[in-house]
Amino acid sequence: MSGIYIHVPFCVVRCLYCDFYSTALPHLKDAWLRAAIREMELRRDYLGGDTVATIYIGGGTPSQLSAADLERLFSAVYRLFPVDSDAEITLEANPDDMTAAYVGSLRSLPINRISMGVQSFDEADLHLLGRRHNSRRARQAIGDCIRSGYDNISIDLIYGIPGQSLQGWEANLKEAAGLRIPHISAYHLTYEEGTRLHSMLEAGQVQAVDEDDSADMFDLLVDSLDGYEHYEISNFALPGRISRHNSSYWEEKKYLGIGPSAHSYNIETRSWNVASLSDYIEGINRGKPILETERPHYYNEYVMTALRTSRGIEVSRIAARFGEDTLSFILRQSESFIAAGMLEHKADRLVLTRKGIFVSDAVIRALFREDF
Ligand code: SF4
């Protein structure tokens, strides 16, 4: 089983915190669509004939595509790849685009999961992040999706926003949980270099929340989503609603990434397309996708992906797949984190504790092997 990711690189406006690749050039939509279909044709053998179990249309803003555009994309996917009849098919959407009419127009397509960038139900937060929707629109969009029959909905939320109080974050979580949104992805705000928010931070126009408040917000997140499984550092799901597409990244399954900046993985190699729409289109038109390729660092990738999940690292797998010396290495490196209460060694698994999740990048880095 494998997955397909399609990157739709168009946004109406750039949110202040975002460093994903996208452009505000809607007139290139048709050229992008033709190139994306052509890329699927050129790379149809990449997944080795595996059945496609998940399709994820991400971005950018996929809800900037019309139902007719999406129909063209899907007919190419189904023509070129064997798609499982029970495939999870997700469309990322901006609440501003999800009017009742637009949501209704999607119903004839194979999409069965909607992932919406709500980010917050608070007007001040949305304004600071530079989002184009407001909280009323977010609520309406969720309601319209539910009324149209979508029962597999995910929303993204951001916490640690300058000016956001603990009470404000709690209100967001209460609202999401109260609506029984099946899947919630919650991320701490980061200040990525090159974003406007990063410049504002540097110029002292905004202040990052302090570490104690961040930790309290994370505690609130984990404690208040009652009935949700915290299955990955940033992801929470009601029973049966874990994102199969996300999970396939962590389970080392193959995926083909279509569109500028999209990443692909087929066990032997990992590659990523050029992050420029014009270069992407030019490469595809010449019949030569512009991409970079590297051989994966299996051990490091396993550590990084497994440790992000609630299942953690399978210790016996380390020995079986990477050898006894790697097993000794990881157990040795883990000792100080176990002693500090950041890692737990439970039965056959090394799992991040709540304290460890908060500093997960440092723990993961310490368990990496540079020589692999
Ligand atoms: S956060 Fe989403 S909508 Fe905003 S600029 Fe980034 S990709 Fe576009």
* Atom number, ligand 1, closest to the C-alpha of residue 130: 4
Residue 314 belongs to domain spanning: 298-367
The rounded Å distance from CA 284 to ligand 1 centre is 25
The rounded Å distance from CA 367 to ligand 1 centre is 32
pLDDT given at position 246: 84
The rounded Å distance from CA 76 to ligand 1 centre is 26
201 near 194, Cβ under 8 Å? no
pLDDT given at position 24: 86
**Domain finish residue from 228, 249, 270:** 249
Q: Cα(15)–Cα(155) distance, rounded to whole angstroms? A: 17
Q: Nearest-CA neighbor of 8 among 16, 25, 18?
A: 25
pLDDT given at position 247: 82
* Tokens coding 5: 């990711």
Range 369-372, long-range pairs (CB < 8 A, 24+ positions): 369/299, 369/300, 369/326, 369/329, 372/297, 372/298, 372/299, 372/300, 372/322
- Parts of the chain with a pLDDT under 50: none
pTM of the model: 0.94
Are 228 and 305 members of one domain? no
Are 233 and 330 members of one domain? no
Are 166 and 244 members of one domain? yes
Most informative mutation of 20, 92, 97 for ligand 1 (most atoms within 8 A of CB): 20
325: domain CATH number is 1.10.10
* Atom number, ligand 1, closest to the C-alpha of residue 60: 7
Are 227 and 362 members of one domain? no
* Tokens coding 348: 């056959």
Question: Is the N-terminal amide bond of 60 cis, ω within 30° of 0?
Answer: yes
Most informative mutation of 7, 8, 14, 189 for ligand 1 (most atoms within 8 A of CB): 14
What's the number of domains the chain is made of? 2
Chain-centre distance for alpha carbon 77: 21
Asked, for residue 256, whether it belongs to a domain, the answer is no
Asked, for residue 17, whether it belongs to a domain, the answer is yes
Are 342 and 215 members of one domain? no
Q: Is 94 in the pocket of ligand 1 (CB under 6 A)?
A: yes
Q: Is 14 in the pocket of ligand 1 (CB under 6 A)?
A: yes
Most informative mutation of 16, 19, 22 for ligand 1 (most atoms within 8 A of CB): 22
The residue behind tokens 């990525």 is 192
Asked, for residue 65, whether it belongs to a domain, the answer is yes
Are 186 and 311 members of one domain? no
Are 92 and 178 members of one domain? yes
Are 239 and 328 members of one domain? no
pLDDT given at position 372: 66
Asked, for residue 236, whether it belongs to a domain, the answer is yes
